[in-house]
Structure 1
Amino acid sequence: MVAVTATLRVACSPGEARIAVMENGELQDFAIWTPGHPDGVGDTHRGRITSRVPALGGAFVTLGKGADGFLSDRDGAEGTCEGESVIVRVTRAAMAGKGPRLRAAPDAAPAKGDITLLKRGPSPLEELAARWHGPILVDHPTFAARIPTSLRDRVKRVPSAWDDGVQDAVDTLTTPEIDLPGGMRATITPTPALVAIDMDSGSASAILQAKQTAQFAANRAAFPTLFRQIRLRNLSGAILIDPAGLNARKRQALREPIEAELRSDPLRPRCLGITALGLAEIVRTRIHPPLHELLSGAHGQAMQALRHLVTSHLIASQATHRAGRPVLRAGLGVARALEDDSLACEDVVSWCGYPLTLRADPSMPFLSWVTDDE
């Protein structure tokens, strides 16, 4: 894939960098980089077969520290036996309650030895930098120092990597409803089994006057924006799209413009057709967790808490010329996520000038948190 020139804007906070790729004022790509809590895609491990599962066509592999992945027969489990050491690479992150998917990498290292992580895969910044040429704007020295030397010539330190326009564009990725061209809108509803997308004519319905040709044109004109949202949110697996205001026969003609939009997606999703109910059925490869899982999970909530802590520190410093030391009180889920990400906790000193004070509160909801004055 040929890299395109764009600006990578890296907004940093303790333990987390949010990377927005901007081209001509438009958000083209987005990723979250958490060095202390990587999703593991691309990592190479020396693991051990714990159980063969013929019914699933593969085997479970322990990767150490309580992590287990699945290695299919097609990807290298065939002919292995329980207790055998294997060299594997993570091809899909753990998500939706399922462990990582693995592929054999026998040439990466000797198979015999202890269970261990042999090599980290590329970070989200490295993946985006390979896809997009251009400057990398970073707004904190802590993360600037973590950027690989191969990318240092592209790095520029700035006071703030994001402006209001970038923030607004990123904020749209967290809302279930999105505005589409021509007054249309769509509602995105992720479920454990699939992602449902309902398109609605909205304010365009009065103009379209229920004419099928006009409705078809409106749906087709809305696809570029809709499919950009799918890519930016990294929605994956089974995706069902319900177009707006078209009869069953006319919906069949949407397959060609849908396939045209999918060609620009680096994950090469496939349109399987239009179902009997008139739904466009799409499959997009699962590799990294979708954005809604990253933000709503325990670690995502923990990173949000640290961003709030930094903001509170800056406000207090500017108001009183003296920074207070707030305490982060958290439910068990957020507290455990922070305890597991020691790098994020250490980063608090770089932003606030004092270490994080964390108090786990079993009485609070699992994924909740508040800041208290010490």
Structure 2
Amino acid sequence: MEIRLSGSPGEVRAALLDQDRLIDIALWRPGNPDGWGDIHAVRIIRHFTELGGAFVQLLHGEEGFLTTRKKEPEGSLLCAQIIRAAQNGKGVRLKPITPPDNFSSIQLPSLFRRGPSPLEDLAKQASEAPLLIDDMAITQNMPHALKRRIRRVTKSFDSFLENEWDELAQPKCSLGTFTAHITPTPSLTAIDLDTSSHPDFAANVACFPLLLRQIRLRNLSGTILIDPAGVRSHKRPALVPFLRKAVDNENDPVPPKVMGITPSGLLELTRPRRRPPLHELLTSSHGQALTILRDILRENRQGSTLNAPPSFLHALEKDPIALKEFTLAYGKPLHLRATPPEIAFTPWSLS
């Protein structure tokens, strides 16, 4: 196995491969960590017994939800760990943990320790795999424990791997003779299986391993409903054992759980929500702003002022690492100018 890394201002794309077969990916943004696994001192704001916990205040006034049965006094400080990063329009979720020895001296919400980065999580899946890079600048923010595994190569991401990565940003994907149409919603992710051939029971079973790999690569989570193709309703329950077998064989580090079949004949599984899904990372204001920086460098565009929507610029201003890395690569700083509302239809421009 090997892990290939490709860097651009503010982010590192990482791909775990086994003999050129894509196993898993990670998107690491050191200037804007998602917070998963972070340990905080949090202040109780208000209890919501009906929801099984309390809203809490974190560092810099950020709010989250603490899952707990204990009803600590409002205003008190607790030690907690983020178990679900902010995603899907919802804030972080935390669980209480045993505080460190010096916790009694803490008076305000604060961050004790960062959790593992997405790159560290990916590296754990293949503890001896080398990290292949073509730009030493990638190592600047890398944890020291990973630097011993670095190996320099001429090109870390070839055109094939670039295409695979780009395809993960699309709402549909090829599963052999099938096509999966993936539709995330606030409450669940719907996956419609389709094919131009004549689908049958065996063909649906054959596509399950490829589908589970896509769920893993895209980090889809929460409730996932799958609509098989060409299988009559009364036969669909028989697909469940085959889906469970595909889940077991995938060895996903965030393993889904097959719930069974819904009354309407949809296959249902759930996958724990931890880090934000890939589509959210790519379509967020921060993600789109980083894509702009990467495109400017890749296309060698000339200019000194980036004209973009205010949300994009605010995201960049909160990520000093991205702007610093861009300046080093571009040779000069980039001035930021908010796009006026009357030309909001123009995504961005460089002047």
Fold match, TM over 0.5?
A: yes
1: CA distance, partners of 2:343 / 2:144: 42
Asked whether the equivalents of residues 56 and 66 of structure 2 are also in contact (C-alpha less than 8 Å), the reply is: yes
Asked whether the equivalents of residues 19 and 32 of structure 1 are also in contact (C-alpha less than 8 Å), the reply is: yes
Aligned residue identity for 1:254: L
Aligned residue identity for 2:119: L
Aligned residue identity for 1:110: F
Q: Residue 141 and residue 369 in structure 1: after superposition, are their counterparts in 2 closer, same or farther (change >3 A)?
A: farther
1: CA distance, partners of 2:37 / 2:262: 35
Q: Residue 365 and residue 339 in structure 1: after superposition, are their counterparts in 2 closer, same or farther (change >3 A)?
A: farther
Q: Residue 326 and residue 158 in structure 1: after superposition, are their counterparts in 2 closer, same or farther (change >3 A)?
A: farther
Matched, 1:268 2:261: no
SS at match of 1:253: helix
Comparing 165-174 with 357-366, which one deviates more in the overlay? 357-366
1:341 maps to which of 299, 319, 340: 319
Counterpart in the other structure of 2:19: 24
Asked whether the equivalents of residues 236 and 283 of structure 1 are also in contact (C-alpha less than 8 Å), the reply is: yes
SS at match of 1:39: coil
Counterpart in the other structure of 1:319: none
Deviations 1:244-269 (A, max 9, x none): 11112211110001111222222221
Deviations 1:261-309 (A, max 9, x none): 2222222211111112110011111001111111111111111011012
Kindly report which structure 2 residues correspond to 1:80-229, keeping only aligned pairs within 5 A, or say none.
80-108=72-100, 109-111=102-104, 112-132=106-126, 133-181=128-176, 183-202=177-196, 204-205=197-198, 215-229=200-214
Counterpart in the other structure of 1:68: 63
Asked whether the equivalents of residues 189 and 223 of structure 2 are also in contact (C-alpha less than 8 Å), the reply is: yes
Q: Residue 351 and residue 158 in structure 1: after superposition, are their counterparts in 2 closer, same or farther (change >3 A)?
A: farther
2:334 maps to which of 356, 360, 366: 356
SS at match of 1:90: strand
SS at match of 1:107: coil
Q: Residue 120 and residue 366 in structure 1: after superposition, are their counterparts in 2 closer, same or farther (change >3 A)?
A: farther
Counterpart in the other structure of 2:221: 236
Counterpart in the other structure of 2:296: 309
Asked whether the equivalents of residues 309 and 348 of structure 2 are also in contact (C-alpha less than 8 Å), the reply is: no
1: CA distance, partners of 2:135 / 2:303: 21
Structure 1 unaligned residues grouped into runs of 5+:
1-5, 209-214, 317-323
RMSD across aligned C-alpha pairs, in angstroms?
Answer: 1.7
Q: Residue 36 and residue 364 in structure 1: after superposition, are their counterparts in 2 closer, same or farther (change >3 A)?
A: farther
Counterpart in the other structure of 1:33: 28
Query: Residue 47 of structure 1: CA displacement?
Result: 1.5
2: CA distance, partners of 1:282 / 1:235: 11
Aligned residue identity for 2:224: I
Q: Residue 279 and residue 303 in structure 1: after superposition, are their counterparts in 2 closer, same or farther (change >3 A)?
A: same
SS at match of 1:244: coil
SS at match of 2:168: helix
Counterpart in the other structure of 1:321: none
Asked whether the equivalents of residues 334 and 369 of structure 1 are also in contact (C-alpha less than 8 Å), the reply is: no
Deviations 1:180-208 (A, max 9, x none): 22x22121111111111111132x21xx5
2: CA distance, partners of 1:151 / 1:35: 15
Query: Residue 367 of structure 1: CA displacement?
Result: 9.7
Aligned residue identity for 2:103: P
Aligned residue identity for 1:270: K
Q: Residue 120 and residue 167 in structure 1: after superposition, are their counterparts in 2 closer, same or farther (change >3 A)?
A: same
2: CA distance, partners of 1:19 / 1:274: 35
Structure 2 unaligned residues grouped into runs of 5+:
none
Aligned residue identity for 1:124: P
Deviations 1:45-80 (A, max 9, x none): 111111111221211110022311111124xxx131
1: CA distance, partners of 2:235 / 2:87: 36
Asked whether the equivalents of residues 144 and 157 of structure 1 are also in contact (C-alpha less than 8 Å), the reply is: no
2: CA distance, partners of 1:219 / 1:129: 32
Query: Residue 364 of structure 1: CA displacement?
Result: 6.3
Asked whether the equivalents of residues 304 and 333 of structure 2 are also in contact (C-alpha less than 8 Å), the reply is: no
TM-score of the superposition, structure 2-length normalised?
Answer: 0.94
TM-score of the superposition, structure 1-length normalised?
Answer: 0.88
Asked whether the equivalents of residues 307 and 350 of structure 2 are also in contact (C-alpha less than 8 Å), the reply is: yes
* Count of matched residue pairs: 346
Matched, 1:286 2:273: yes
Query: Residue 365 of structure 1: CA displacement?
Result: 7.2
Aligned residue identity for 2:214: Q
Asked whether the equivalents of residues 68 and 96 of structure 2 are also in contact (C-alpha less than 8 Å), the reply is: no
Q: Residue 354 and residue 159 in structure 1: after superposition, are their counterparts in 2 closer, same or farther (change >3 A)?
A: farther
SS at match of 2:42: strand
Aligned residue identity for 2:168: L
Counterpart in the other structure of 1:296: 283
Asked whether the equivalents of residues 21 and 28 of structure 1 are also in contact (C-alpha less than 8 Å), the reply is: yes
Asked whether the equivalents of residues 45 and 74 of structure 2 are also in contact (C-alpha less than 8 Å), the reply is: yes
